C-alpha cells in the first residue's frame, strides 16, 4: 500500500519546538523524506532518512524513525516565523515518491 498520513495543521509559538508526525504503510520504503513548501513555491527537500536509521539530526532539524510502527517525525528546534509553511512527509516506493497531504505549520509571535 502507499498511504502516507499526516495531521493537517500545527500552530506553534516562535522559539518553541515543532513536532510534525507522519505514518506510512510501505515497509519496503528505502528512504523517507521531509519537504517544505512555501506559498507559491515548489518543494524544498529539507532532509531524508534511510530506512535502517533511527534518527538523523541536521542543525535545527531532527528526524526520528520508528520502523516497527511505521512512524516518522520531524522536530524543528527554536521555530522561527520563516518556518511557517506546509511540510510534506514522503516515502519512496521504488521509482517514485508518495506524499502525505501536508501539515500547515503556523508560527505565532
Partner 1 sequence: KAGVTQTPRYLIKTRGQQVTLSCSPISGHRSVSWYQQTPGQGLQFLFEYFSETQRNKGNFPGRFSGRQFSNSRSEMNVSTLELGDSALYLCASSSTGTSGRAGEQFFGPGTRLTVL
Nearer to partner 1, 25 or 98 (CB): 98
Min dist CB 50 to partner 1, Å, is 10
Min dist CB 35 to partner 1, Å, is 7
Q: How far is CA 63 from the centre of its chain?
A: 8
Nearer to partner 1, 55 or 101 (CB): 101
Min dist CB 22 to partner 1, Å, is 13
Helix (H, G, I), strand (E, B) or coil at 83: helix
Binding positions for partner 1, rule: CB under 8 A: 30-31, 33, 35, 41-45, 48, 88, 92-102
Please state, in angstroms and rounded to a whole number, the distance separating the CA atoms of residues 92 and 56. 17
Please state, in angstroms and rounded to a whole number, the distance separating the CA atoms of residues 66 and 83. 25
Nearer to partner 1, 38 or 54 (CB): 38
* DSSP single-letter state for residue 68: T
Among the listed residues 106, 108, 109, 99, the one whose alpha carbon sits nearest the alpha carbon of residue 6: 99
Amino acid at each position: 500500500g502507499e498511504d502516507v498520513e499526516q495531521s493537517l495543521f500545527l500552530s506553534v509559538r516562535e522559539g518553541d519546538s515543532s513536532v510534525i508526525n507522519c505514518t506510512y504503510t510501505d515497509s519496503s520504503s528505502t528512504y523517507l523524506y521531509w519537504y517544505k513548501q512555501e506559498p507559491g513555491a515548489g518543494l524544498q527537500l529539507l532532509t531524508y532518512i534511510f530506512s535502517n536509521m533511527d534518527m538523523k539530526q541536521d542543525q535545527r532539524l531532527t528526524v526520528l524513525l520508528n520502523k516497527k510502527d511505521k512512524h516518522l517525525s520531524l522536530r524543528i528546534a527554536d521555530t522561527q516565523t520563516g518556518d511557517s509553511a506546509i511540510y510534506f512527509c514522503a516515502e519512496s516506493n521504488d521509482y517514485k515518491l508518495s506524499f502525505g497531504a501536508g501539515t500547515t505549520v503556523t508560527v505565532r509571535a
